[in-house]
Structure 1
């Protein structure tokens, strides 16, 4: 993007899976950076990363790190955001937070630019990035909601291990090598890093992402339920989720069933999806054309296919939604919010 004014930008969690993607996007999209600060925990401080051909040393994130910063993009875990996001705001930064720390806070907008970018401008210093699996679903469903209304959403996710970070990626690769070599397979990270029991991820499907809640749903599932209602601004929409980890390195897939409030035709739905911002329709079943996680990796859009009417419910609609969870599901959504805010300030 082109812009005459430049901005001081801090990336918190710069050495992580999402942080490195944020850095790449800032460079590729020619984000108007004046000064760039790469921040991390003390453990990663001193690492050197490259931005536009220049070597930048990663510094330990402290409250003072945010002096003079215009945009602070946080992706270092909820505890870091809770500790430092408000410190950044007090020093004049707009925080775009990629963690669960503030998503459901009443005074913090939860933003997907294709759905509710207007809410970002109501921020009081912090804008929350939704959960990766929520982002791709609401981006695809929003044009349908606006045209026909949505009464119910039932989603089952097939989530890549990159959603659990770089260590989870390495763990899956190592487990796969062990399994193929006939050696003992030991899980080190998943399903939940903080819990004592680990499951084999290689050649397996694990129906747990994050910790279980008292109602039998996991925290990841409740994030999807609650965040969807907040983003759509509609507490009446019924949402239910089952979130599953699959042995895929990158790219989340979702089977989504919705019941609309108004009648629709499949032709109308496909036309809406084909025209929707940030959405690519890949739906040519006669040629085995449908979205794949491998095809979505490295791309910014949300991909939708397998669009079909339910066989028993006249207003029931099924679809398959795939996206790069590190890009649209995280880094790109955050950078996109910052870009849109800059464009608005230039008007």
Structure 2
């Protein structure tokens, strides 16, 4: 364990991205966002900048709303007193869980044994610390479950699984992200030099309902803004396919590839380009013979030997650089199409 910890701590000074040690009580500058939220703002701004470059964009309309996460968590409108008190007013989490689950293990029903507080959806899989994601588990079930998904752990107990899933509330990650980034996103879009108009969610819902459209992200985007229905403004055409853009990154700074214990397994090449190709490039492979004979399109992971790894919808295989033809350079994003709901 000490050797593995030393290997992790060495990474700060072993590469070219050295930073001196800083104090833990430093203040964040105005407008600071966590890296995960800043990534969302920067990715949206990058996509909007490219659209302004290739299309005649004259105005930008954005739906800037604030979600009431407390009311969304309860599923109803709340009174001012309920906003101040909350669900756990006058009690604590452990006592609340003991009363909710009948002082017994939620997985096996054991009572009269020491009980631990367990995350229904593990933290390693995106679970939160909300009380709706917490339950009681005996020591044996807690250790047996670990980071296993609940559906897999209780696959042989469908009734108990349904009872626990009924307790879990809908995650509010997306609503919290929008509440945090809405003003920073608006300020970032203003740097593109186009007028930015902010609208409410009720305006979007009214436009979508008046046009008879279903609830989807695409139709919400079409319904943002001012539509003068009295003068004949209407949405007369909807897309049949939409482009799905996903950030894939531009590689990593790691010099080695570790194993499952954290120790270096092999060294990574210093060069990112081999035989004219880079990891993430979209290529078309023409394989003359063998199991994978035919024409394939996908993204590759380059190797110094020239036998690059090609990922396709049906599998992954190695192909020589001689049989590859470049379709698009890797720009940190992947592009796909999907059918839109009619």
> Which bracket does the TM-score occupy, shorter chain normalised?
under 0.3
Q: TM-score, normalised by structure 1?
A: 0.27
Give the structure with higher Rg (CA): 2
